[in-house]
Structure 1
Amino acid sequence: MKVLAIGGSGGMGRAAVRAALSFDFIEEIIIAGIDADLGERFAASLNDPRARSIFLDVTDQEQLRYAIAAVDVVLNSAGPFFRFGVPILSAAIAEGKHYCDICDDWQPTVAMLELHEQAKQNNVIAVIGLGASPGIINLLCVKAAQQLDRVDRIISAWKLSGAVNADDGFQTAPVAGSVDAAAVHLMHCLSEKIRIIREGKSIETDALEHSTIDFPEFGLMDVWSLGHPEAITLPRHFTQLQSCYNGMLGIADWVDSLRQAAQAIAAGQISVDDAARKILQQVQQDAPTTQASPVAVKTPGSFAFAAGLKDNKPTRVGAYLKHLPAGGMATLTGIPQALFLPLLQQGHFQHAGVFSPEQVIDPDAFFALFDGFCGSEGAGVTVLTAQDSAAL
């Protein structure tokens, strides 16, 4: 299997490439990006003859199509996805190549799902949003929902302070004028209307609405909403949902700053990029140092929550991982993307088209592969259930 890793020299991309090279069936992986020097240095560091780098400007459609045509599978880590998601997927479909990305913006998620029939006609299997959130968290939502007879509510959430990466030797000081794609994504999510499910209907509303989740065994958790693909894709799979949204945990001290920055962007007083620079600096100052070894989770830094009925009784279910791979958010995002490759190789996907993770991936098969990257104890998928005594 030959793989084109677009954005493969970035933080998430490097984690995906390293994980992909652990699979014997990979014949070649081409690390493609606009920073040719970084790509060459990263490829050389891998000390693997299967890895090489090329310069690729994804805004050059002819160059993009040419690079895609030479491989079997495209792994796209080039964010922000509200800029690059749709054109790269479209090019992969046009070339008839399988595709997986880590798209975390809801608007391009909608647009990419609309390419389903084109992908089906070209016999292309495309899974979008197979990272940490979305990705792992979607499959945890499935695990939680499986405990219920009727699912009314699904909420996914993660700690903003956990969205940092360990230094893998390629972290560089920001170049003047540059900005972190993840931070741009966050400010984009907060400054525009978001789509959620409320009272059984898809609506658009403001981000950073506050709610409280009564998580089994851990108690009350505060969540602030933001625009993310989970609220777009999960209702397609769980069609009777009355409530569905994605949110952030642990931002009580930052929420006012985030809201002010989002309002300033919406009013045209500051650019998304400039706001992202300021917020990223604050988050990095407050975030704990990322450990260099597999991390044991004491309280969920991200979770899936489902509520509904079990045996005709109101029931709440929470799901999370006890152990995470070393490397912070980069590995937690890049490794799931790389797992698309063995799933594809094993014939896990039965149909062509564009899909979200929960539509086509068996959580147990996925986590069996993911365990190998989380230390000797594996990921430790944990599902907790709390049931009220009164029947309905």
Structure 2
Amino acid sequence: MTDRVLILGGRGRIGSSVAQDIATHTQAQITITGRSPETGKAMNLPLGEQVQCVILDLAEIDRLRQAIANSDLVIHCAGPFHYRDANVLKICIEQGVNYLDVSDHRSYTSKALNYHEQAAEAGVTAIINTGIFPGISNSMVRQGIEQFDTPEKIHLSYLVSGSGGAGVTVMRTTFLGLQHSFEAWIDGKWHIVKPYSEREVVEFPPPYGRSGVYWFDMPETFTLPYAFPSVKTVITKFGSVPDFYNHMTWITAHVFPKWLMQKRSTIEFLSHVSHFMTDVTNRFSGIGVAVRSEVTGRKNNGESGVYCSSLVHENTAVISGYGTGSIAQFLLEGNLKKPGVSPVEEALPTDLFLQAMQSRGVKITHNWL
């Protein structure tokens, strides 16, 4: 029988990239949902034969439950996840349907992880935080961790050009991430860190080179310390190209009144203005992404070292689709099974990760520092 994949919020740039990857690498029947009649329009997908679109609001619980029951795999792409409950995951567990998402905020990640035992008992594999960052970046860290007997420090840096090829939702996610300070695991203790603080210049692969990155609240900031208990420090930093976007974001995080940044109307205004601006600058900055992972630790012989992994891709949304789509492929093929709710770094073995990247033409460079 043909596998059936349900992609919630599939009309967005990330969701449609996930659908494209699954359509390319599997024979699954894909159903994309959106809230408006425009769902499916202007999407570069083979609509009709392998991909169909339906109108569905996540608030329509009965229709949502029916759609999930008729699926073999559900992929949740309806962000921003700051506002989401874990109802989709809960229904998937009740229906015995495997689950993936592209969630990118610790509040949602925490809610999802609370369902670990229920998912395990139901035999449901639920993998959260897939995509590029979090997602592929976490698997790069896992590969680095495996080079050491005692890993001690993780330093993740992300850089996105212009809009990254993503839509307004990703802009919302960025500004929502500036609202509150957050906890980071530093020197074996949880410390409060201000968003978009402590600028650091990091060497990325060409064409980016030395670029500025700042502290940013990501799910991996707290999932990686639990996945790899010997690690004493986890740093997650993010930056934009052109660099003037970084300075504008810093001002938004540190100068704008907190009460103003916590209003939805402010987030909507900033998101749409920023998306308009990146539509202009995309023409010369591109919409690519760079990820750099450094893992510091000690080998079996007691020698210390730093294992550095990095990648560059010309389209952030497309490679996000690779990250989620490849895991969907492994689940559908029966090559990946891990009942419970797990972040990607705990669920995806390195051999499968490398297989996925190779099959999609993604080159990851490695070197010892």
TM class by shorter chain equals: 0.7 to 0.9
Shift of 1:52: 1.3
The residue aligned with 2:39 is: 38
Instruction: Structure 1: give runs of 5+ residues left out of the alignment.
Output: 167-178, 387-392
The 2-side partners of 1:235 and 1:206 are apart by 19
SS at match of 1:12: helix
Give distance in 2, aligned partners of 1:368 and 1:245: 27
Q: 1:199 aligns with which of 171, 187, 197?
A: 187
Q: CA deviation at 1:221?
A: 6.0
- In 1, Cα distance between the equivalents of 2:204 and 2:19? 36
SS in 2 for 1:210: coil
Offset from partner CA, 1:330-356 (integer Å, 9 cap, x none): 111112211122211343334311011
Deviation at 1:289, TM superposition (A): 4.6
CA distance in 1, matches of 2:249, 2:294: 24
Q: Distance in 2 between matches of 1:213 and 1:148?
A: 26
For the structure 1 residues 241 and 282, does the alpha-carbon distance in structure 2 shift closer, same or farther, using more than 3 Å as the test? farther
1:381 and 2:361 equivalent?
no
Mapped to 1, the partners of 2:165 and 2:292 lie a distance apart of: 19
Asked if 1:253 is matched to 2:244, the reply is yes
Deviates further, 236-245 or 283-292: 283-292
Rounded to whole Å, the distance in 2 between the matches of 1:158 and 1:308 is: 21
Q: How many angstroms apart in 2 are the aligned matches of 1:214 and 1:385?
A: 16
> Helix, strand or coil for the counterpart of 1:21?
helix
Corresponding residue for residue 232 of structure 2: 242
Please list, as runs of the form range in 1=range in 2, the aligned pairs for 1:284-299 lying within 5 A after superposition. 284-287=279-282, 289=284
Q: Deviations over 1:48-79 (max 9, x none)?
A: 52321111001222221121111111011111
Partner SS for 1:15: helix
What are the within-5 Å matches in structure 2 for residues 208-247 of structure 1?
208-210=196-198, 212=200, 222-247=212-237
* 2:152 and 2:231 in contact (8 A); partners too: yes
Shift of 1:217: 9.5
**For residue 171 of structure 1, what is the aligned residue in structure 2?**
none
* Equivalence for 2:260: 268
1:280 aligned onto 2:272: no
Structure 2: runs of 5 or more not aligned: none
Indicate the residue corresponding to 2:296 in structure 1.
307
Report the equivalent of 1:22. 24
For 2:165, what is the secondary structure of its paired residue? coil
- Which residue in the other structure is 1:331 paired with? 318
User: Would the alpha carbon gap of residues 58 and 163 (structure 1) be closer, same or farther in structure 2, given more than 3 Å must change?
Assistant: same
Hey, what does 2:62 align to over in structure 1? Answer: 62
- In the alignment, is residue 316 of structure 1 matched against residue 306 of structure 2? yes
Q: Partners of 1:186 and 1:214 in 2: how far apart?
A: 20
Work out the CA distance in 2 between the residues paired with 1:217 and 1:276: 28
- Could you tell which deviates more after superposition, 234-243 or 261-270? 261-270
What's 2:111 paired with?
111
Deviation at 1:24, TM superposition (A): 4.1
State whether structure 2 residue 9 is matched by structure 1 residue 7.
yes
Spell out, residue by residue over 1:194-248, the C-alpha distance to the aligned partner (whole angstroms, 9 max, x if none): 2311111233321112254776999976431110011121111111222112111
Structure-2-length-normalised TM-score: 0.87
Which moved further from structure 2: 365-374 or 129-138?
365-374
Read off the aligned partner of 1:113 and give its amino acid letter: L
Q: Distance in 2 between matches of 1:225 and 1:105?
A: 14
TM-score (norm 1): 0.83
Summarize the Cα distance change of 1:367–1:36 in structure 2 as closer, same or farther, 3 Å threshold: farther
Q: Which amino acid aligns with 1:344?
A: L
> 1:357 & 1:257 partners in 2: Cα distance?
32
Following TM superposition, by how much is the alpha carbon of 1:84 offset from its aligned partner in structure 2, in angstroms?
2.8
Q: 1:389 maps to which residue?
A: none
- C-alpha distance in 1 between matches for 2:25 and 2:211: 39
Equivalenced residue count is 359
Indicate conservation of the 8 Å contact 2:239/2:246, yes or no.
no
User: 1:125 maps to which residue?
Assistant: 125
The separation in 2 between residues aligned to 1:217 and 1:39, in whole angstroms, is 36
Deviation at 1:10, TM superposition (A): 1.3
Letter in 2 for 1:277: H
What displacement does 1:116 show?
0.6
Partners of 1:190 and 1:259 within 8 A in 2? no
Identity of aligned residues (%): 21
| Contact in 1 for aligned 2:149/2:298 (Cα 8 Å) | yes
- Distance in 2 between the 1:104 and 1:79 partners? 9
Rate the CA distance shift 1:267–1:186 in 2: closer, same or farther, 3 A: same
* Residue among 333, 338, 356 paired with 1:351: 338
1:366 and 1:85 map into 2 onto residues whose CA distance is 29
